[in-house]
Amino acid sequence: MKTRPQTGAGTLAAPKPASLPKGGWFKDIRSHWVLYLMFAPIAVYFIIFAYIPMAGIVMAFQSYTVKGGIFGSPWVGLDNFSYFFQSGKAWLVTRNTIIYNLAFLTCYTFFSILAAVVISEIRLKWFKKLSQTFMFLPYFISWVTVSAFVYNFLNYEYGIVNRIFASFHLEAIDIYSTTWYWYLILPFLYVWKWVGYGSVLYLAAIVGIDQEIYEAATIDGATKFQKITRITLPLLKPTMIILLLLGLGRIMRGEFDMFYQLIGNNGLLMDATDIIDTLAFRSLMGTADFGMASSVGFYQSVLTLIIILGANWMVRRYDKDQALF
């Protein structure tokens, strides 16, 4: 008896990789030149901005000078790393980077799934489109613009928040000199900006779920909540695992634009908001120490690699099909 293959998310069998035609790679390019032409700009972008700059990794082990360049500057071994770890900032910025990125990733994943599920249950098409538009709009707003709005809201002297407090005869709060507020403000702003983008990814996965599964559940008397918890969420697991693994790939890469535009060089908030990227930027701009900045970047890359390999190993132990490699 033949059975119809399942079409729900995460249930399709992986297709066999296509083999190259006789004649090799060049014949394949001639046969699919349009696809290769579309791919070419992406390949050029990554070659120029991702692979060629890898040569600069040697600056982490040099006392770099503009005159000497990458291949002519004197080697200093691990001195740049020693300076970084002995500065007293290494643990602080590493801790802040990991804490914020874990908070960002957790909140972003939760609210993206929540938004996607809610939008998928909306039956009015015009309201669904309107909701998606308003949720996706913050994605296109730069952090420069966001920082201006935030400052006008939270400024101690003339901010909207303190004006509201004053109208109720409440004491004004100086948010730009109080660290603990930013442990809430920064994740909130990150989710506000990115949740629309994330909801689109999860909504696409929900749309790919076979509707016959929901129809069978309806016949069996399942409620709307049971359909979400027993069908939608379990079938979103493959998408969620992949996006989480990709998110872990940036766990040591702080949102530099966000932190620099919102916090800047505010020394009062430095202990709570200084991350690896802002430390490297200050090192580069303040002292033009390219070796120090490069060593910090190399430190980020090594820790990121270790985290990705560890996370992928854990996923492989749980379910090999869900691992990245």
CA distance 305 to 298: 11
Q: Check if the beta carbon of residue 307 is closer than 8 Å to that of residue 101.
A: no
How large is the angle between the packed helices 233-248 and 90-120, nearest 10 degrees?
150
Residue scoring higher pLDDT (285 or 164): 164
Tens-digit pLDDT profile for residues 75-118 = 888 888 888 888 788 889 999 999 999 999 999 999 999 999 99
**Token pair 């914020």 is at which residue?**
100
- Identify the band that residue 22 occupies on the pLDDT scale cut at 50, 70 and 90: low
Quote the CA–CA distance of 21 and 109 in Å, as a whole number. 42
Per-residue pLDDT band for 140 (boundaries 50, 70, 90) equals very high
Residue 282 has pLDDT above 90, yes or no: no
8, pLDDT greater than 70? no
In this predicted structure, the answer to whether residue 2 has a pLDDT above a threshold of 50 is: no
Q: Tokens for 234?
A: 């379990």
User: In whole angstroms, what is the distance from residue 175 CA to residue 184 CA?
Assistant: 11
Residue 140 CA from chain centroid, whole number: 15
Under the banding of pLDDT at 50, 70 and 90, the label for residue 4 is very low
Q: Say if CB 257 and CB 143 are below 8 A apart.
A: yes
pLDDT of residue 87: 76
Domains of the chain: 91-276 (1.10.3720.10)
